[in-house]
Amino acid sequence: MPLAPSDDQITIDALTWDPYPIYRRLRAEAPILRVNSIGRTILTKAADTRAVKDDPARFSSNDPTTPMARAFEAHTLMRKDGEAHMAERMAMAPTFSPKNLKTLWVPAYEKVLNDYLDRLPRDEVVDLFPALAGPLAARVLALILGLPGASDEDLQRWSQALIDGAGNFGYADEPFERVAKANKEMNALLEARVPQVKAAPDQTALSVMVNADRPIPMSQIVSNIKIAIGGGINEPRDALLTILFGLLTNPDQREALMESGEWNLAFEEGVRWVAPIQVSGRVALEDVEMRGVTIPKGDVVMTVQASANHDEELFDHPERFDVFRKKASHQSFGSGPHHCLGTHLARQTIGRIALPTIFERFPNMELVDPSKVVWKGFGFRGPLNLPVRLNG
């Protein structure tokens, strides 16, 4: 079979600022396309992205061409396969057990959320990105990971440094310098915390990993914590802001949910509509035939779940935010062995706590000007700002 067609027109800039029209065209015209500006083959149909993620025997997560290892100063579980990946994942998984979610993390989330809502200014325009969504995600993460001493500001800065470093495909100096500094600070914090969680074990991720009967090596414990910091702030932050934007710009839907209490619908629709993690990379371990083309061994493919979530075969008018749309599986949490460990945490906290609490406390909240909200991101995507008046 022929290789996938290749494209020289699509730029990283276009994918960063306005990717959805591009994906819509590709789903119709070239669902498997080599995009030269990113050096990858992108898959934009839901069936294909799912098939790749569910087939780790032929599509490895170990993409050596990313700057991730340098940014994290480690080969992390995100880029491992099989038992090596599973051992590191399972080391952290007990923290996220349904029982811990119910008894520890949901109550903790509720408290932090209410505290942070209390301190929002009432009579002026407030940007919910820096004033709520960012710090809320950081504080909850600190509690779950077992880093209560880390400030919201530090955690957000470290997270952004890890993201920028891992996405530094141009290998510029500044992002690597910034993440090196962040790594130093995180390493120092973890070194100080380990004896404390050994002395007083709890259900936090650090404690569970350190105090396991057969712990994974300390270097992997550290890299797991960094993965959680790198991914555990922007994703819940961007999900919350995206859903709030959707509801604030669709008052009829918001009113219907205030009546029915089905806030989980808004959660699922929001993360479908603009997936916080838009793409995931995999490497073909052998020649794979798909949709009439050959993906050659060694090719790096990007599964674009953002596009899978807008696949017209599954979703009518996918560009619309519609909490009442016909149910169909979105792929925002991925699938297969790397399926998001924080899925249930996100559903239970954002879907069942944050949305009803926010709209009960501020039933007249208004977006100041929807056209002023800026959306950005190719790998990770969300609004960069969400200016609102809480009391309408």
Partner 1 sequence: MTRITFITADGAETTVDATVGDSVMRVARDANVPGIAAECGGAKMCATCHVYVDEAWFDRVGAAPEDEQDMLEFAASEARETSRLSCQITLSPDLDGLVVHLPESQI
- Which range touches partner 1 (CB under 8 A), out of 32-40, 93-101, 253-261, 369-377? 93-101
User: In angstroms, what is the minimal distance from the CB of 226 to partner 1?
Assistant: 21
Strand-pairing partners, residue 26, are none
85 sits near partner 1 (criterion: CB under 8 A): no
326 sits near partner 1 (criterion: CB under 8 A): no
What whole-number distance in Å separates Cα of residue 391 and Cα of residue 125?
Answer: 10
268 sits near partner 1 (criterion: CB under 8 A): yes
User: In angstroms, what is the minimal distance from the CB of 99 to partner 1?
Assistant: 5
Closer CB to partner 1, 336 or 379, in the complex = 336
User: In angstroms, what is the minimal distance from the CB of 97 to partner 1?
Assistant: 7
341 sits near partner 1 (criterion: CB under 8 A): yes
* Nearest alpha carbon to residue 282 among 87, 85, 83, 81: 81
User: In angstroms, what is the minimal distance from the CB of 328 to partner 1?
Assistant: 8
- Which range touches partner 1 (CB under 8 A), out of 118-126, 168-176, 337-345, 365-373? 337-345
336 sits near partner 1 (criterion: CB under 8 A): yes
User: In angstroms, what is the minimal distance from the CB of 341 to partner 1?
Assistant: 8
User: In angstroms, what is the minimal distance from the CB of 363 to partner 1?
Assistant: 28
User: In angstroms, what is the minimal distance from the CB of 100 to partner 1?
Assistant: 10
334 sits near partner 1 (criterion: CB under 8 A): yes
57 sits near partner 1 (criterion: CB under 8 A): no
x-or-dash pattern for partner 1, window 278-317, by CB under 8 A?
A: ----------------------------------------
Find the binding residues for partner 1 in span 100-119 (CB under 8 A). 102
x-or-dash pattern for partner 1, window 343-382, by CB under 8 A?
A: xx--xx----------------------------------
58 sits near partner 1 (criterion: CB under 8 A): no
3-state SS, the chain, equals CCECCEECCCCHHHHHHCHHHHHHHHHHHCCEEEECCCCEEEECCHHHHHHHHCCCCCEECCCCCCCHHHHHCCCCHHHCCHHHHHHHHHHHHHHHCHHHHHHHHHHHHHHHHHHHHHCCCCCCCEEHHHHHHHHHHHHHHHHHHCCCCCCHHHHHHHHHHHHHHHCCCCCCHHHHHHHHHHHHHHHHHHHHHHHHHHHCCCCCHHHHHHCCCCCCCHHHHHHHHHHHHHHHCHHHHHHHHHHHHHHHCCHHHHHHHHHHCCHHHHHHHHHHHCCCECEEEEEECCCEEECCEEECCCCEEEEEHHHHCCCCCCCCCCCCCCCCCCCCCCCCCCCHHHCCCCHHHHHHHHHHHHHHHHHHHCCCCEECCHHHCCEECCCECEECCCEEECCC
State which amino acid sits at residue 165: G
What whole-number distance in Å separates Cα of residue 62 and Cα of residue 218?
Answer: 21
What whole-number distance in Å separates Cα of residue 205 and Cα of residue 255?
Answer: 38
Q: Is the dihedral of CA 13, 17, 23, 24 positive or negative?
A: negative
60 sits near partner 1 (criterion: CB under 8 A): no
342 sits near partner 1 (criterion: CB under 8 A): no
Q: Which residue of 2, 98, 170, 392 would you call a contact of partner 1, by CB under 8 A? A: 98
Q: Which residue of 12, 28, 57, 93 would you call a contact of partner 1, by CB under 8 A? A: 93
User: In angstroms, what is the minimal distance from the CB of 93 to partner 1?
Assistant: 7
Closer CB to partner 1, 254 or 338, in the complex = 338
Give the residue carrying structure tokens 């709209």: 359
339 sits near partner 1 (criterion: CB under 8 A): yes
For partner 1 (CB under 8 A), the number of binding residues is 22
Closer CB to partner 1, 216 or 365, in the complex = 216
Q: Binding residues for partner 1, per CB under 8 A?
A: 54, 93, 97-99, 102, 268, 327-330, 333-337, 339, 341, 343-344, 347-348
